[in-house]
Amino acid sequence: MTKKTNIFGHLKSDFASGLVVFLVALPLCLGIAMASGAPLFSGIIAGVIGGIVVGYLSKSHVSVSGPAAGLTAIVLTAITDFGAFNIFLTAVLLAGILQLILGFLKAGSISNYFPTNVIEGMLAGIGVIIILKQLPHAVGYDADFEGDEAFVQADGGNTISSLLGALDYIQFGAVIITLISLAILIAWDKVPFLKKLKLIPGALVAVTVGVILNELFIASGSSLAIAKEHLVALPVPTSLEDFQNIFMFPDFTAITNSQVWVVALTIAIVASIESLLCIEAADRLDPQKRFTDTNNELKAQGVGNIVSSLLGGLPMTSVVVRTSANINSGAKTKMSAIVHGALLLISVVAIPVILNKIPLATLAAVLLMVGYKLAKPATIMHFWHKGKYQFVPFIATLLAVVFLDLLKGVALGMIISIIFVLRGNLKRAYYFRKEEYEDGDIIHIDLAQEVSFLNKAAIKLTLSNLPENSNVIINASDTVYIAHDVIDLIKEFKHINAVEKNIDVTLIGFKEAYELDNTQYENNHVFMEHDALIKYRNNSISSHKEAIEELTTN
């Protein structure tokens, strides 16, 4: 059950964390918009709506929404195919409506089936991506756009080649600012006195120092000065008309275009899955371990995408990078997400010139800290010590997220987890032991609490390999549910296969195992009727009625 929290009860820490998320989100919003082939302000609009509207409507206390890198390829292809951004906005509007419907249909419940090791693998994978992607920015090489999470890049290179290529473009001014920023962030995280300064986040201090250092480099004419192309590049409206042109509206005449509906459905599905994954991750990272209503989250995301499309914004999801930065900065309630959205709005109107002085290197330092906390070696070792059934899905998810993408990585982790569950079910369906007695072999087969159709093959193999002339006891005393396929299998073995091999079969506890359900009891009754009929026909008992009474007594 979700705990109720006063969103104004922790305003100091929430404002500080919202400020950090704002600094992280600003270049990401611009970078994702640029990579999507959309107007730069469309990314800012999505960030503002994701913070204020979705932040207010969502039941999540710590997640932050905005334009997502996972939608970049879909958005770029759609805008290119449609040839007009306002037609694409119609698809975003329809996607929001579809998400709203999914929320009312309670489709968010599927998030309950995401295994913890897969979610943790996804988080660690994103942490590795952040580190690999931000290292070039940390040394002053900004060829790749902020927010790119893909291993294979648009220029034909990849994350590793970009990392190696950065060695040829190292700017020592950027390196100095990155190292000083990292030192400030680590000190703010480790020094007890500085940790108590909740109202002044370390990220803000690092960014401020980074700006001041670069301004000093520029003023002194030093070769360490960071050029304009390596700073935040927020567009600056120079007139009221420029500001009005920021906003665009959907082309409602395109609603009859079938391709628009295809794009809308694609965005709705991908955005919903990514949001649900992020919500599960946010709940895992939340220090207070609060749970989020995922059906309400789909509704909030749907409303957010509807509003964003009506103002000319990109589609959005709940985003792990921003959410992680939010939690690491000490967010307590969803007010931090709202603050981040409000600051994005204010930045467009009031202080774009000041924000454009921020070096990308100092923001890279902030994100490197976020990435490290997501992909700590301790997390990897934790799952290593849990055994292969936990570690293999975890590490497979991590690697696939890094080298493929988030959804494919999670899908692979889910598949491996399901395979392990199936294997585990096959092994745990029953306990088989063989004991030696003077009068002959007695073989015990104790069924588990639940025996599904998935266990049929293993039980069939065990029964077929039982030695001739043996005594077999099949015990269902602890069993609550047995699939009909398994019941039929046991019937056939007892009355056909066992007779042929002269195996004496004793069934224990089957009646008790089925008393919890009328249908199951009726099936058990049919089972006993069948046994009685066989005994009667074989003349091993005087009457059918007596056989039923004997079996019921046993």
Q: Per-residue DSSP letters for 496-553? A: IIHHHTT-EEEEESHHHHTTT-HHHHHHHHHHHHHHHHHHHHTTSSS-HHHHHHHHHH
Q: Is pLDDT larger for residue 321 or for residue 191?
A: 321
Which token pair is 213?
Answer: 């250092």
Q: SS in 3 state form for 398-425? A: HHHHHHCCHHHHHHHHHHHHHHHHHHHH
Helix, strand, or coil (residue 293): coil
- Mean pLDDT for the stretch of residues 248-257: 94
Q: Which residue, 247, 241, 260, 181, is CA-closest to 20?
A: 181
Confidence of residue 526 (pLDDT cuts 50, 70, 90): very low
pLDDT value of residue 15: 93
d(CA 424, CA 541): 42
Query: Please, what is the Cα angle at 538 between 533 and 540, to 5 degrees?
Result: 95
**Residues whose CB falls within 8 Å of the CB of residue 538, separated by 6 or more in sequence, listed in order:** none
Instruction: Please return the burial class of 244, using the count of CB atoms within 10 Å of its CB with bins 0-12, 13-18 and 19+.
Output: exposed
pLDDT value of residue 512: 47
Proportion of the chain above pLDDT 90, given as a percent: 55
Confidence of residue 489 (pLDDT cuts 50, 70, 90): confident
Q: State CA 138 to chain mean position distance.
A: 27
β-pair type (471-475, 504-508): parallel
| Residues 125-160 pLDDT 10s | 999 999 999 999 999 998 888 878 888 877 778 888
**Residues whose CB falls within 8 Å of the CB of residue 119, separated by 6 or more in sequence, listed in order:** 277, 280, 281, 284
Is the pLDDT at 434 greater than 60, yes or no? Answer: no
pTM: 0.78
For residue 200, the 8-state DSSP code is: S
| Residues 58-101 pLDDT 10s | 999 999 999 988 899 899 999 999 999 999 999 999 999 999 99
Helix, strand, or coil (residue 340): helix
- Mean pLDDT for the stretch of residues 425-450: 62
- Mean pLDDT for the stretch of residues 382-389: 88
pLDDT value of residue 428: 57
Is the pLDDT at 416 greater than 90, yes or no? Answer: yes
Confidence of residue 165 (pLDDT cuts 50, 70, 90): confident
Q: Is pLDDT larger for residue 472 or for residue 295?
A: 295
Q: State CA 458 to chain mean position distance.
A: 34
Is the pLDDT at 431 greater than 80, yes or no? Answer: no
d(CA 396, CA 383): 12
Confidence of residue 457 (pLDDT cuts 50, 70, 90): confident
| Residues 166-211 pLDDT 10s | 888 899 999 999 999 999 999 988 888 777 776 688 999 999 999 9
d(CA 191, CA 202): 11
d(CA 450, CA 452): 6
For residue 337, the 8-state DSSP code is: H
- Mean pLDDT for the stretch of residues 104-114: 89
pLDDT value of residue 426: 60
